[in-house]
Amino acid sequence: MPSEALSPAIAAPSPSAPAAEPLPERLSAFAGFERIASGPAQAVLAQLRSSSLPPDVLVRVFDDATGTRLDLDLRPQAAATAAAPAAPAQRSVGRPRLGVVAREVTLLPRHWDWLNRQPGGASVALRRLVDEARHVHRERDALRAAREATYRCMTEMAGNLPGFEEATRALFAGDGTQFNLLIDPWPQDLRDYLLQLSATAWNNVSSSS
């Protein structure tokens, strides 16, 4: 279980830093190998920013959905900056109110010819094809995403731990028993988080091969 969070001293971001990306839904924060906060993103950030850790303690924050380590401003004053009203957004191409966003797609002429002959035109046909593929490959995609999320976190946190390479091979081989055996000696909070990230990495392994 996460313990009460403590916040490190973090250097101020560069004035030329790009605009912040939207926060993931849920985060987990580690100080060393101890998970010190976990839960909804805003709650985790508030917890980290409202307390303190010695400046030499490395705090790493992960997206629970992707296992990606995030570069976040954890200084207490960052909360006031984040609460400031955002500048009005420029008009986007597409129909953002309906969730439709324009992106560039490059296809061969025969692909465009086929798409343009479909009912509703190219955009409707592409959306239908993507939805059909998402439905057909849902389990395979979830399995792959879980393995990749687990690997991202392992690379950040466990690269120097014994059995890392063997555990990585077991992860991508779909060998959950061997994976669990290899990470069992690792620090408990890290082990529990990797098991959380990899929960769907072992289902229907034979059908995804």
**pLDDT for residue 5:** 43
Residue ranges making up the domain that contains 175: 138-208
pLDDT score of 85 more than 50: no
Residue 128 lies in a domain: no
Which of 34, 58, 80 is where one domain is finished?
A: 80
| Structure token pair of residue 6 | 């403590």
Residue 198 lies in a domain: yes
* Cβ–Cβ < 8 Å for 139, 204: yes
Q: For the chain, what percent of residues have pLDDT higher than 70?
A: 72
The packing angle between helices 121-136 and 138-157, to 10°, is: 70
CA dist., res. 83 & res. 92, Å (int): 24
Residue 98 lies in a domain: no
pLDDT tier for residue 7 given thresholds of 50, 70 and 90: very low
Q: Parallel, antiparallel, or unpaired for β 59-63 and 26-31? A: antiparallel
Number of domains in the chain: 2
Q: Which long-range contacts (CB under 8 A, 24 or more apart) does 140-145 make?
A: 140/204, 140/207, 140/208, 142/200, 142/203, 143/200, 143/201, 143/202, 143/203, 143/204, 143/205, 143/208, 144/208, 145/66, 145/200
Cite the DSSP H helix spans in the chain.
41-49, 78-83, 109-116, 121-136, 138-157, 164-173, 176-183, 188-197, 205-208
Gyration radius (Cα) of the chain, Å: 21
Residue 88 lies in a domain: no
Residue 106 lies in a domain: no
Average pLDDT over residues 34-46: 94
Mean pLDDT computed over every residue of the chain: 79
pLDDT score of 36 more than 90: yes
Residue 168 lies in a domain: yes
CA dist., res. 169 & res. 175, Å (int): 9
pLDDT score of 10 more than 50: no
**pLDDT for residue 177:** 95
pLDDT tier for residue 98 given thresholds of 50, 70 and 90: low
Read off the pTM. Answer: 0.66
Average pLDDT over residues 19-27: 79
pLDDT score of 83 more than 70: no
pLDDT score of 205 more than 70: no
Residue 63 lies in a domain: yes
Taken as a whole, the chain contains a residue count of 209
Identity of the residue numbered 147: R
pLDDT tens-place string over residues 142-195: 889 999 999 999 999 999 999 999 999 999 999 999 999 999 999 999 999 999
CA dist., res. 188 & res. 197, Å (int): 14
Backbone angles phi, psi at 93, to 5 degrees: -75, 140
Which of 80, 108, 126 is where one domain is finished?
A: 80
Average pLDDT over residues 118-127: 78
Residue 130 lies in a domain: no
* Cβ–Cβ < 8 Å for 97, 65: no
Which of 80, 102, 127 is where one domain is finished?
A: 80
pLDDT tier for residue 203 given thresholds of 50, 70 and 90: low
